[in-house]
Amino acid sequence: MLGMTTRRTQVGIVGAGPSGLLLSHLLARQGIDSIVVENRGRDYVEERVRAGVLEQGTIDTLAEAGLGERMMAEGLFHDGIEIRFDGQAHRIDFPSLTGGKRIMVYGQNEVVKDLIDARLEAGGAIVFDVDDTAIEGIDGESPTIRYGKDGAEHAIACDYIAGCDGFHGICRPSISEAALTGYDRVYPFAWLGVLADSRPPSREVAYCHSERGFALLSLRSPTVSRLYIQVAPDEDIANWPDQRFWDELQRRTAVEGAAPIETGPILHKGITPMRSFVAEPMRNGRLFLAGDAAHIVPPTGAKGMNLAVADIRFLTEALAAFYRTGDTAGLDGYSARALRRVWKAQRFSWWMTTMLHLSPDDSPFDRRRQRAELDYVTGSEAAMRTIAENYVGLPFETGLTP
């Protein structure tokens, strides 16, 4: 191993996903230095297939930060969603229920590409392909990120560290169990998802409840579909050859008057477990957690990346206030402020998940109640407004204190 190299920055960021990159970008716009370290290569980070539904607030945040040019040109605005059951499709119109708000389909990997391009063009520091990353000194005045790169040891001395390294990263486990509470729920089903080179079967995202299980129709572009079906959490993907997937998807999503789903080459196939998790608090000493490092939501409510963007908005405001005035009120209130939004998103995601999926623990009563709930939410304007305002994104809180 070669000698140690030490650098200094104001905010050290672990993880070059959407939350870490957006934080670095927004801090730079406030004149605050940061360095991002990532254990994967740039190509891997840019090509990870993840969710792609952006709330109105996320769209606005990216556009206001100068990141909207390609997003606005290539992203697909959607004015609503469908809920399908009993062979019928029911549409929920967002703009009419939310004062004009919409969502956009724009892949998370595309957001990451835009952020990396913007940071590197501005001379931002992103270090890819690091190993043996560790953080230390978060209870002191100068915490440190240590990592290996090209056979040498490196250290970054910081004022603060942002843990944006995902659910399986090193930042959250660095907090003692006594200082952090984890709230966890694992659902008894998973999603088998595919990315297919085929024309999307629905012009908007369609949630489909059937006696065979849940299915979801979505898209990444006018010619590329993103499709899911509910499976057991321990399902072997080898049991799902392409044709079986297409046949099952057709059965679960069929509604009166709809054409058969157009099949095509499957570009990617994977199984996503369904889980809810929240870490409280989202701060320990000079370490702040954001995004998946702090919370996981089931994908039913399309909240994952949008929650990460909200975390970063709050953290950026708090750090900017500190560096501008020395006031720590925003930093002290960050966790409580972020968690209020996190738990509202958890509630919505849990509700959508349990309303639409079949559970092996369901009784006949549960099935009848579920059917009645679907009838209610597609027949009541008040219920549809509840779905719409949560789906497009609740307003951001103002003010930095709890």
Q: Which residues are catalytic?
A: 78, 207, 299, 303, 391
Residue spans of alpha helices (H) in 195-303: 242-253
Gap between the terminal Cα atoms of the chain: 46
Q: Amino acid identity of 245?
A: F
Residue with tokens 């109640």: 369
3-state helix, strand, coil in the chain (%, to 5): 40, 30, 35
The number of CA neighbours under 13 Å toward the Cβ of 146 is: 11
User: Which residues share a beta bridge with 35?
Assistant: 12, 125
Determine the Cα–Cα distance for residues 342 and 294; give it in Å rounded to an integer: 9
Determine the Cα–Cα distance for residues 219 and 195; give it in Å rounded to an integer: 8
Taking residue 197's Cβ as centre, other Cβ atoms within 10 Å add up to: 12
Coil/strand/helix, residue 88: strand
Determine the Cα–Cα distance for residues 194 and 249; give it in Å rounded to an integer: 11
In this structure, what token pair is assigned to residue 161? 């560290």
The answer to whether 24 touches 38, Cβ cutoff 8 Å, is: no
Determine the Cα–Cα distance for residues 146 and 329; give it in Å rounded to an integer: 29
- The C-alpha torsion from 134 through 292 and 266 to 359, rounded to 10°, is 130
User: Which residues share a beta bridge with 4?
Assistant: 153
